[in-house]
């Protein structure tokens, strides 16, 4: 069973975040620079929300707002769903699919330790399946 902890170990635990009072335009610049689809919204060490490309499209662009005049706290998603490092990637996939979300902050003892995306989860599941296939092929052919 692959865990969130192993995904973070292989991908790294870089966390890109912004403050609630950051302008949407400035947050978008960071997202473009870092090539990420979401930023965690942090106030000190406390997770307040998440701001994603989806939030921008639905809460700024479609409402005719200007990214230069609106703060992240006005368009972020609050009540963020999170996982722990010991949860399985299958649990994460079920959660992401069921809740229609693409990013999961990882909390350990209430402390933010990472962020995983749907791409990270899919990559880990594919890798896990490839390993299982190799083991079955070796079993069938008698290789050890």
pTM of the model: 0.84
Residues 83-102 as b/e (b if ≥16 CB within 10 A, e otherwise) read bebebbbebbeebbeeeebb
- Kindly give the confidence (pLDDT) of every residue in the chain, 144 residues in length, as a single tens digit, with 9 standing for 90 and above: 889 999 999 887 788 999 999 999 999 999 999 999 999 999 998 999 999 999 999 999 999 999 999 999 999 999 899 999 999 999 999 999 999 999 999 999 989 999 999 999 999 988 887 777 777 777 788 765
Total domain count for the chain? 1
CATH code of the domain covering residue 12? 3.10.580.10
DSSP 87-127: SBHHHHHHHHHHHT-SEEEEEETTEEEEEEEHHHHHHHHHH
Q: For residue 101, give its domain range.
A: 4-141
């Amino acid at each position: 069973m692959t865990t969130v902890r192993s995904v973070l170990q292989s991908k790294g635990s870089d966390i890109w975040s912004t403050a609630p009072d950051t302008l949407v335009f400035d947050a978008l610049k960071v997202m473009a620079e870092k090539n990420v689809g979401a930023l965690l919204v942090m106030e000190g060490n406390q997770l307040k929300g998440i701001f994603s490309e989806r939030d921008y499209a639905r809460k700024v662009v479609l409402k005719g707002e200007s990214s230069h005049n609106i703060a992240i706290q006005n368009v972020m998603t609050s009540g963020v769903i999170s996982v722990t490092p010991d949860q399985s990637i299958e649990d994460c996939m079920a959660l992401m699919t069921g809740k229609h979300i693409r990013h999961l902050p990882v909390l350990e003892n209430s402390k933010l330790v990472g962020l995983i995306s749907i791409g990270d989860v899919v990559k880990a599941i594919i890798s896990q399946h490839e390993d299982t296939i190799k083991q079955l092929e070796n079993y069938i052919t008698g290789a050890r």
